[in-house]
Amino acid sequence: MTAAGLSRSLGGLGLSITLVESDAIGTVGVGEATLPHIRDFNRIVGIDERDMMSRTAATIKLGIEFRDWGRPGDRYMHPFGTYGETIGPAPFHHYWLKERANGGQTAALGDYSLPIVAGWNGRFEPPSAQEGMLAYNYAFQFDAGLYAAYLADVAQAAGVKRQEGRIVETRRSDAGDIVSVVLDSGQVIEGDLFVDCSGFRALLIEQELQTGFEDWSHWLPCNRAWAVPCAIGAESTPFTRATARDAGWQWRIPLQHRIGNGHVYCERYSTDQGALDVLMGNLEGTPIAEPRQLVFKTGKRRQMWNRNVVAIGLSGGFLEPLESTSIDLIQTGILKLIDLFPTDRCELADVSEYNRLMDLEYGRIRDFLLLHYVANQREGLPFWDDMRHMELPASLAAKMDAFRSRGLTPDYSDGLFLLQSWLSVFIGQNIIPETLDPRVDTMSAGERQAHLERIHSTLLESAEGMEEHLSFIHQYGASFKQSGA
């Protein structure tokens, strides 16, 4: 992904980009759910969406369904879109909450969000509106290995040299910068800038530069996962599912030809075998590969860019896969690197700026992920009880207090998860504000009900007019072509 991004954006500079990859080591091999920003990345590198979908078995993703996260039996969706529209001086959700508090016959909050209504109905069509209640976005659920192969083609066509081999040594200048890496074949590869995409190994950024790791596992303690694909048993929904389990949660990611499944858990609360049993006992179809175990630690590198090394991907950090943020963080890292790409040498001002922006991004995502865990009412289960009672980062505590007390949502404009995302989890996990924006009372109950009804029926009608999800993919010409032929 990094090679494709750099070569397509900066290839014209005459840069020489070499990608070193070791088949013997392989990749982490999971990561199937994405976020809508990936469409921007695809555009930047010149990828035809249809073609990409057909070569990666991609389905459409309109959001993530969360099951059993608040209380057992609860169900909500975090959508890639908005709720309602502006109907008065207060934010939309306050009018909805007011109606609900007054005992009105209001639909669920999700029924005021087009991607949710479409998602529940298994429908999809590309969005036509940029703003207002009909605006939304979408992402993909795909085979990340195939996507990587697709990007490898894009990168190599743009001039990237792919070098198979294992890096066994790193050489540095007197000043401490990395000047070359040595492969097991003895080949020396020199460079001015090194992008460390070596995964959890963090070969350059940590093993060589010892940049340091900010361990966030006291906040996000899940540290293991079992992953297994299975045959499609139910329907291929245009959304990913995350179901809470006793010591973690289970993912379900429907692709065109199979379902990706995994169980993320914390080893302090479950044995490996117990976690595997939970996963295998909750598959909707026959497993089509052996389950694989993954071990990780949540947190991030103290500096994503250190000297002339930029860590992108798992080498930079990992925040667990609950909201499909890893590929997105890779993309963010690439785009910011392009934005700050050095001319002759890495300037301190640019390195600091890169690290400032990445820190901000990681911090906000961490808080958002953590919210899912702490806002639970799954009483009597040690994992969930401990999550509920943990000491929160001050930044998250403030966001939760603001919502709980007065329905104030985080409103930063630069970041992955904005107001609507926070709102979906707050309400979806039963955090109901104690008081509402007083400005809702400038509208009469009748007017309010009329607005809510109008929005609800408009969205329902729009969703009903959409194509069934899989038939859209078929008609779009994006059906999976196994060999990529």
Partner 1 sequence: MSSAVHTIVLAGRSADVWPVAALLERELPPRIKLHVIEDGGIYGPRGATVPLGSGYHTRTGIDCATLLEHCDAALSLGSVLENWRGEGSRFVTAPSGTLPAVGGVALHQLLLKMAAGNADFGQSFAPFRFAARAAEAGKMALPADAPDSPLAMLGPQVSFDRGRYAAMLRARCEGACTISKGRVAAAQINGCGDIGSVTLDSGAKIPGDFFVDCSGDLSDVAGCPEDLRPLQIVPFGQVATIALVADRKPVMPIYRAQEDGLLAITPTASGQLLTFACSTETTEETILQFTSESAVIATVGNGCTDTPWLHNLVRLGTASVQIGSMLSADIVLLQAQSLLLADCLPVRSQMQAEADAFNRKHAETVRGITDFAFAPLYLGAHAGLVWEEVRASPPPHSLQIRIDQFRSRARVPSFERDYADEQTWTELLFGMGLQPSGYDRRADTIPPAHIERVLNTIRQQLDGALARMETRTNFLRRFA
Q: Enumerate binding residues for partner 1 (CB under 8 A).
A: 9-13, 44, 89, 338-341, 343, 347, 349-350, 352-353, 356, 398, 401-402, 404-406, 408, 411-414, 435-439, 441-442
31 touches, from ligand FAD, partner 1, none (C-beta below 5 to 8 Å by class): ligand FAD
What's the Rg (C-alpha) of the chain?
23
Q: Which is nearer to ligand FAD, 197 or 310 (CB)?
A: 197
Q: Which is nearer to ligand FAD, 20 or 455 (CB)?
A: 20
132 touches, from partner 1, ligand FAD, none (C-beta below 5 to 8 Å by class): none
Assess 296 for contact with ligand FAD (CB under 6 A).
Answer: yes
* Segment interacting with ligand FAD (CB under 6 A) among 40-48, 67-75, 314-322, 427-435: 314-322
CA distance 9 to 444: 53
46 touches, from partner 1, ligand FAD, none (C-beta below 5 to 8 Å by class): none
193 touches, from partner 1, ligand FAD, none (C-beta below 5 to 8 Å by class): none
Assess 197 for contact with ligand FAD (CB under 6 A).
Answer: yes
| CB 210, min distance to partner 1, A | 27
* Segment interacting with ligand FAD (CB under 6 A) among 6-14, 197-205, 382-390, 438-446: 197-205
- Is the C-alpha dihedral spanning 111, 116, 119, 125 positive or negative? positive
Q: Which is nearer to ligand FAD, 98 or 252 (CB)?
A: 252
Assess 326 for contact with ligand FAD (CB under 6 A).
Answer: yes
b/e code 90-124 from CB counts within 10 Å (16+ = b): bbbbbbbbbbbeeeeebbbbbbbbbbbbbbbebbb
DSSP calls for 93-156: HHHHHHHHHTT--PPPGGGG-HHHHHHHTTEE----BSSSTTBB--EEE--HHHHHHHHHHHHH
477 touches, from partner 1, ligand FAD, none (C-beta below 5 to 8 Å by class): none
| CB 203, min distance to ligand FAD, A | 5
Q: Which residues, 6 or more positions from 431, have their beta carbon under 8 angstroms from its beta carbon?
A: 375, 400, 403, 404
Structure-token pair, residue 37: 């920003």
| CB 347, min distance to partner 1, A | 5
Q: What's at 243, amino acid-wise?
A: T
**Among all chains, which residue has been given the structure tokens 């969703």?**
463
Q: Are the C-beta atoms of 124 and 62 separated by less than 8 Å?
A: yes
| CB 155, min distance to partner 1, A | 16
Q: Which is nearer to partner 1, 59 or 421 (CB)?
A: 421
CA distance 188 to 311: 21
Alpha-carbon separation of residue 142 from 66, 254, 257, 428 (angstroms): 19, 8, 10, 26
| CB 386, min distance to ligand FAD, A | 21
Q: Which is nearer to partner 1, 136 or 305 (CB)?
A: 305
Assess 294 for contact with ligand FAD (CB under 6 A).
Answer: yes
Taking alpha carbons only, the member of 365, 302, 314, 317 closest to residue 37 is: 365
Structure-token pair, residue 475: 């008609």
Q: What's at 175, amino acid-wise?
A: A
CA distance 32 to 145: 9
Q: Which is nearer to ligand FAD, 109 or 253 (CB)?
A: 253
321 touches, from ligand FAD, partner 1, none (C-beta below 5 to 8 Å by class): ligand FAD
Q: What phi, psi does 196 have (nearest 5°)?
A: -85, 105
Q: Which is nearer to ligand FAD, 261 or 462 (CB)?
A: 261
Taking alpha carbons only, the member of 471, 474, 455 closest to residue 133 is: 455
| CB 48, min distance to partner 1, A | 18
Strands 292-295 and 259-265: unpaired
406 touches, from ligand FAD, partner 1, none (C-beta below 5 to 8 Å by class): partner 1
> Would you tell me how many other CB atoms lie within 10 Å of the CB of residue 192?
14
Q: Which is nearer to partner 1, 287 or 342 (CB)?
A: 342
CA distance 46 to 44: 5
When binding is defined by CB under 6 A, the residue of 110, 221, 254, 262 that contacts ligand FAD is 262
- Binding letters toward ligand FAD, positions 147-176, x by CB under 6 A: -------------------xx---------
Assess 340 for contact with ligand FAD (CB under 6 A).
Answer: no
Strands 194-196 and 309-311: parallel
- Binding letters toward ligand FAD, positions 25-64, x by CB under 6 A: xxxx-xxxxx------------------------------
313 touches, from partner 1, ligand FAD, none (C-beta below 5 to 8 Å by class): ligand FAD
> Would you tell me how many other CB atoms lie within 10 Å of the CB of residue 355?
18
Q: Which is nearer to partner 1, 286 or 343 (CB)?
A: 343
Alpha-carbon separation of residue 245 from 194, 378, 382, 410, 430 (angstroms): 40, 10, 12, 28, 18
CA distance 266 to 273: 12
21 touches, from partner 1, ligand FAD, none (C-beta below 5 to 8 Å by class): ligand FAD
Residues that bind ligand FAD (CB under 6 A): 20-22, 25-28, 30-34, 144, 166-167, 197-199, 201, 203, 225, 227, 262, 294, 296, 313-315, 321, 324, 326-327, 330
